[in-house]
Amino acid sequence: MNTSGPDEQGLRLIPFRGLRYVPERVGSLAAVTSPPYDVVVRPDGLHHLESADPHNIVRLILPQADTAEDRHRQAARTLERWLAEGIIAPDPAPALYVYEQRNDEILQRGLIGALALSPAADGIVLPHEDVMDDIVADRAELMRTMQAHLEPLLLTYRGDGAEEGAAAVIERTAERAPLLSTTTEDGFHHRLWAVTDPAERTAIETDLARHQALIADGHHRWATYLRLQRGQTAPGPWDFGLVLLVDTTRHPLQVRAIHRLLRGLPVAQALDALTGLFRVRTVEGPLPRALDALAGAAAEGNAFLLAGDGGFHLVDRPDPALLARTIRTDRPEAWRTLDATVLHSALLDDVWRIPDTPGHIGYIHDTEAAVEQAERLGATAVLMHPVREEVVRDLARQGVTMPRKSTSFGPKPATGLVMRSLTID
């Protein structure tokens, strides 16, 4: 997405001294990485990562203690100890970083740096999802206590398609020997390079200054960055946030759905409440087949797949009177017809009356994990169909945010490959 005039300020990405694991001090780089904090399926995923290596990054991004204050202090002490012991060390000079993720189907390359923060009203970095204040407050206290950014947000921009500027630097850099190379258990191969040449950094910065970005993943962390910046009394390190910028003209992202786990609602009770308000049909498994049925129904309108009782139930064709009564009318039609809008406004708020709090609703990226947890807990999994990327971008350009956790863009950067300290220049 380009800004409309040459004098307008765009993206400003500056170098920093990355904190990175010292390979000789850990079992393997793969064993100390993690998905983003909100993707880790707790508690199983957390325990798996903690046992993978005693220095796994999950001990910093999801510390475990009785109180929030204790968790934050524990994470800060752990980071200080790892730095003192040489488990993690800063790079010798500030750099921008080229980061590559690759598997058999996907090649994604982008730039990691410290991005100048700006409010949504400036039109430089565009959010597309709402956030929850309590999550932002908790992440802010964790970051403030640790004085560090541990996880790069995933931001996208639309380049010009030309082999120049940032794109040219990225491609040249990827031909060199990387700083690190590792393959994580999800099958993705990761490589990282440092860009320290002043001419190459200038080419990147000049190019990015003509663009604006969409937050693909990390809305709560972006809101956290802004919250911490507002707490400064003078310009300082909180004016910048750690991000990964990907040009989706060259490397299109995948867009997946994020599913809901309704902890206290059995499937039978959920279905009973839908009588007369939605069409409900039982569809055959296994899960991939049921998801195909969901995709077919979603092509015609709002549709959801309920699971948790050993079967699959397709829910579609909502009652127009229900939608008229529960959906806000002061938003664009594209927002009013989103599955997430209908789910939250009509189903969760009105029909099922479930508060959107962690104790009642879990947000799970992995479809199989959502079904498994629902069956184990006697709960209801609401499986969603992904939103098209162009819908997300169009709403973001209009300044309209979607219900939180409406989309999952990927592949997401692995956490733990490069971090930013706010106390190391």
Res. 132 pLDDT band, cuts 50 70 90 = confident
Residues of the chain with pLDDT > 70, as a percent, come to 95
Q: What is the pLDDT of residue 112?
A: 98
Please check the confidence at residue 364 and state whether its pLDDT lies above 50.
yes
Q: What is the pLDDT of residue 348?
A: 97
Host H or E run for residue 50? helix 44-52
| Residue 326 near residue 350, CB atoms below 8 Å | yes
Output the six-digit token pair for 374: 């629902």
pLDDT per residue over 133-176, tens digit each?
Answer: 999 999 999 999 999 999 999 999 988 877 789 999 999 999 99
Mean pLDDT of 115-120: 94
Between 174 and 46, whose confidence is greater?
A: 174
Phi/psi at 390 (5° precision): -65, -30
Mean pLDDT of 374-403: 89
Closest Cα partner for 129 from 417, 414, 405? Answer: 405
Q: Alpha-carbon distance 85 to 141, whole Å?
A: 25
Closest Cα partner for 311 from 341, 267, 270, 343? Answer: 267
pLDDT per residue over 282-325, tens digit each?
Answer: 999 999 999 999 999 999 999 999 999 999 999 999 999 999 99
Please check the confidence at residue 3 and state whether its pLDDT lies above 50.
no
Res. 6 pLDDT band, cuts 50 70 90 = very low
Res. 388 pLDDT band, cuts 50 70 90 = confident
Please check the confidence at residue 110 and state whether its pLDDT lies above 50.
yes
Q: What is the pLDDT of residue 41?
A: 53
pLDDT per residue over 367-383, tens digit each?
Answer: 999 999 999 999 999 99
Q: What is the pLDDT of residue 46?
A: 66
Please check the confidence at residue 180 and state whether its pLDDT lies above 80.
yes
Res. 4 pLDDT band, cuts 50 70 90 = very low
Closest Cα partner for 282 from 274, 272, 292, 293? Answer: 293
Mean pLDDT of 267-283: 97
The lowest-confidence range among 39-53, 109-123, 304-318, 319-333 is 39-53
Q: What is the largest CA-CA distance in the chain?
A: 65
- Write down the mean pLDDT value for the chain: 91
Q: What is the pLDDT of residue 45?
A: 65
Give the SS3 label for residue 111.
strand
Q: What is the pLDDT of residue 383?
A: 98
Q: Alpha-carbon distance 35 to 186, whole Å?
A: 10
| Residue 206 near residue 165, CB atoms below 8 Å | yes
Beta strands, E only, 57-212:
88-90, 96-102, 107-116, 125-126, 148-149, 153-157, 180-183, 189-195
Contacts of 154 (CB under 8 A, 6+ apart): 215, 216, 217, 218, 243, 244, 246, 253, 409, 410, 412, 413
Q: What is the pLDDT of residue 161?
A: 75
Residues of the chain with pLDDT > 90, as a percent, come to 76
Q: What is the pLDDT of residue 358?
A: 85
pLDDT per residue over 202-244, tens digit each?
Answer: 999 999 999 999 999 899 999 999 999 999 999 999 999 999 9
